[in-house]
Amino acid sequence: MSVPAQSAETSLLSDQARAEIDAWVAKYPPDQKQSAVMAALRIAQDEHGGWLSNKVMDAVADYLEMPRIAVYEVATFYSMYDLEPAGRHKICVCNSVSCMLGGSEEAIAYLEARLGIKAGQTTADRRYTLKKVECLGACIDAPMCRVEHTYHAKLTPERIDAMLQELEQSDGQ
C-alpha cells in the first residue's frame, strides 16, 4: 500500500493516528481507501480533543486522497462527529423510536435540568456536552445513552444521577 504524501494538513495526524487509519484502509480495495473515512474521522477527532476543525477534516481528506467536501459531508451527516469543541464528557442520548417510546425525552429533560444546558450545548465549565442522537443500536435497553464508549441503559433519574456521580468521581471531584 502506498503512503500518501505528507502535506501541511496531513501533518496534523500523528504517526499513531496514521497507522490506525492505515489499518482501516487495508480492509478495503486499494482504489477504495476513502471507505475508511468514518474510522479516520473518529481517530482524528479522538486525537484532537474530541472535535473536528476544518483543518483536521482537510488532513483526513488529504491523507485518504479524497475531495475535502466529501469528508465534510460525512462529518456533518453523522452525529458522532463534533465540529465545535465539546465537553470532557459527551452524553449522547438516543432519541430514535424505541428510546423515545421508552422515555428518552424525559431523560433528556432531566439531563438538561441537572446540567443547566439544552441538548446540543456544552456546560460553561466544559465538563459536559449533551447531544440528542439517532439510534445507538441498543433498543432493548431503551432509553439509553452513550458517554465516551460506555452505554448506560434503561435511563431513570436515579440511573442518570449515578452516571453523573461516576463521571464526577472519575474527574476527581
CATH at residue 27: 1.10.10
| Full domain range(s) for residue 31 | 10-77
**Of the listed ranges 32-41, 84-93, 155-164, the one predicted with least confidence:** 84-93
pLDDT at 50: 86
What pLDDT is recorded for position 3? 43
Residue 1 belongs to a domain: no
The pLDDT, as a whole number, for residue 4 is 45
Residues 28 and 71 in one domain: yes
Q: Which three cell numbers stand for residue 101?
A: 417510546
Q: Which of 76, 79, 24, 37 is nearest to 54 (CA)?
A: 76
Q: State how many domains the chain has.
A: 2
Please write the tens of the pLDDT for every residue from 42-63: 999 999 988 999 999 999 999 9
Same domain (yes/no): 108, 159: yes
Q: What is the mean pLDDT of residues 75-83?
A: 88
DSSP label at residue 148? T
Q: What is the pTM of this model?
A: 0.74
Q: Where are the alpha helices (DSSP H) in 97-152?
A: 97-102, 104-115
Q: What is the pLDDT of residue 24?
A: 97
Interval 133-165: pLDDT, tens: 988 888 899 999 999 889 999 999 999 999 999
Helix, strand, coil % in the chain, rounded to nearest 5: 50, 10, 40
Give yes or no: residues 22 and 72 share one domain: yes
Is the Cβ–Cβ distance between 108 and 143 less than 8 Å? no
